[in-house]
A and B are shown apart, each in its own frame.
Chain A
Amino acid sequence: MNEPLLRDLVPAVIGVLVRRGADFASAEDAVQEALVEAVRVWPDDPPQDPKGWLVTVAWRKFLDAARADTSRRGREVRIEGEPMPGPGEVVDDTLQLYFLCAHPSLTPASAVALTLRAVGGLTTRQIARAYLVPEATMAQRISRAKRTVSGVRFDQPGDVATVLRVLYLVFNEGYSGDVDLAAEAIRLTRQLAAKINHEEVAGLLALMLLHHARRPARTGPDGRLVPLAEQDRSLWDTRLIAEGVDVLQAALTRDRLGEFQAQAAIAALHADARTAEETDWVQIVEWYDELVRLTDSPVARLNRAVAVGEADGPRAGLAALAELDPSLPRHAAAAAYLHERDGDPVTAARLYAEAARSAPNLPERDHLTRQAARLNAQLPS
């Protein structure tokens, strides 16, 4: 049984239950139970109509739970749901679920967890493992998130930008535990792109595909980080790159630029270079200018300074960097890189060592320590 295919059905099945009058939280629980049963039963007895099977079983689970709940409360409460929308109303259930799970009233961590469960169909245990927290903690985070959105109407259009931020967060978490969050983020973004014609959804999908294509080259066999310039480009996934470029080009023709399209364009220019030396840094700087204009993000400015260093020489890069707050994450690492290019290994080594001390994760710290060590080993002692 193909688990991602099974999980593709989850949001639509939740949508059917909600339309039949179930509240979102109960519908989501019922579908999770139906999924568990599907995983148990389907290998020996695959259904003709998987979605129909899931709807039937989930609805039964919902009714069982509602009856148990009602009898617990002394049969005082009748099952009451939201009134069903009238016929002819075309609202895509799956799309509505994306909006609901990324609702602005949720914290980013809650929106991520709820999206992975209700849209992604992952179990609480899988999500907990992926984020390295106890299962009970994740269960609580999800049920609180469900309570938070319990009053939100299911048929109101939401904001695509909030959904994209959540999917981007999932993608950036990368890989830990038995769930590949980057691949899951791509699956969910692909599914969203199929539901809604929006240039930034396409932009985010392209960005993810182009980054994912480089993943096999990004770490060495010993787990060490390999910087872009040193990556073995034959390891890049050309199929993913081609798809990413296609998706991006289609988005750009709509002439409604956004931050994800700009980031994807930068990734595409890197992917397009057969060697690091062939990289079109002048165009990359232009895209960073767009990105800075669109987001005014300090991180974009920092990356732009590095790109300027490649396009116009390290002095120009250092000048751009000098305008930025030195306490920015990775500021010291960028400065170290540019000073080395500028022929000042003493300053570069000192800055690499400083960058290593403030590195946000172990692979980066090891990489920066190694860079400092490499320069120090070359210096006359």
Chain B
Amino acid sequence: MAKYLLLKHYRGGPAPAVDWAPMDQWTPDEVDAHVQFMRDFAARLEETGEFVDTQALAPDGAFVRYDGEGRPPVTDGPFVETKDLIAGWYIIDVESWDRAVQLAGELSAAPGPGGKPIYEWLEVRPFLADSPTVTE
């Protein structure tokens, strides 16, 4: 088994495959269907024994760095419009890269306006594993 991070972005990544209106422009039923899909997706991963974690991130925040001895840290933010912005993630523990890609594909097909898949780009990143016990 190997762990993968499925990253959702508020913005950034490749150009959208379909440019949907923001969610508040959908009908209430479309919003409900989307929210329900997300809940079901996590429940389904638990059933298959592949779920590790899911979290959502607020859009605000800032970059922060050290600025030398005795000085307060420097912050840069809130994030400017052009920057890549992470919205949240799933962590899954699956048999293979192929399985991770398959699941990301399913998550990307979350329903949008008209119940059609939103074709959302998701970033899939393998975790670096711990060193194995047997090395030779």
Interface residues of A (CB under 8 A from B): 222-224, 349, 352-353, 356-358, 360, 362, 365-366, 369-370, 372-374, 376-377
Contacts and interface: CB of A to CB of B under 8 A. Distances in A.
B31 A373 contact: yes
A377 B28 contact: yes
Contacts of A376: 24-25
A365 to B, nearest CB: 8
A373 B39 contact: no
A360 B58 CA distance: 8
The 7 closest A-B pairs by CB, nearest first: A372-B24, A353-B24, A374-B28, A373-B31, A373-B28, A377-B27, A366-B35
A222 B37 CA distance: 11
A373 B25 contact: yes
B23 interface: yes
Nearest to B88: A362
B4 to A, nearest CB: 21
A366 B30 CA distance: 12
Contacts of B31: 366, 369-370, 373
A152 B34 CA distance: 53
A222 B26 contact: no
Nearest to A353: B24
B56 A362 contact: yes
B56 A373 contact: no
Given A222-B39, A349-B24, A356-B24, A373 B60 contact: no
Interface string B47-88: 000000000101110000000000000000000000000000
Q: Considering residues B24, B25, B27, B31, which has the most beta carbons from chain A within 10 angstroms of its beta carbon?
A: B24
Contacts of A372: 24
B58 A358 contact: yes
B22 interface: yes
B119 to A, nearest CB: 20
Contacts of A360: 58
Task: Please report whether the interface of chain A is mostly helix, strand, loop or mixed according to DSSP.
Answer: helix
Nearest to B35: A366
Contacts of B25: 373, 376
B32 interface: yes
A16 B59 CA distance: 51
Contacts of B60: 358
B36 A373 contact: no
Given A349-B24, A353-B22, A356-B24, A373 B58 contact: no
Nearest to A363: B35
Nearest to B21: A376
B125 to A, nearest CB: 22
Contacts of B58: 358, 360
Interface in B1-53: 22-28, 30-32, 35-36, 39
Given A357-B59, A358-B58, A358-B60, A373 B35 contact: no
Nearest to A352: B24
A378 to B, nearest CB: 10
11 contacts: A222-B39, A352-B24, A356-B24, A357-B59, A358-B60, A369-B24, A372-B24, A373-B28, A373-B31, A374-B28, A376-B24
A362 to B, nearest CB: 6
B36 A370 contact: no
Given A224-B32, A369-B23, A373-B30, 16 more contacts: A222-B32, A222-B35, A223-B39, A352-B24, A353-B22, A353-B24, A358-B58, A358-B60, A360-B58, A366-B31, A370-B28, A373-B24, A373-B25, A373-B26, A373-B28, A377-B28
B24 A224 contact: no
B23 A373 contact: yes
Contact of B35 (A224, A352, A358, A374): A224
A349 B25 CA distance: 9
B79 to A, nearest CB: 13
Contacts of A374: 28
Nearest to B24: A372
A353 to B, nearest CB: 4
A352 B22 CA distance: 13
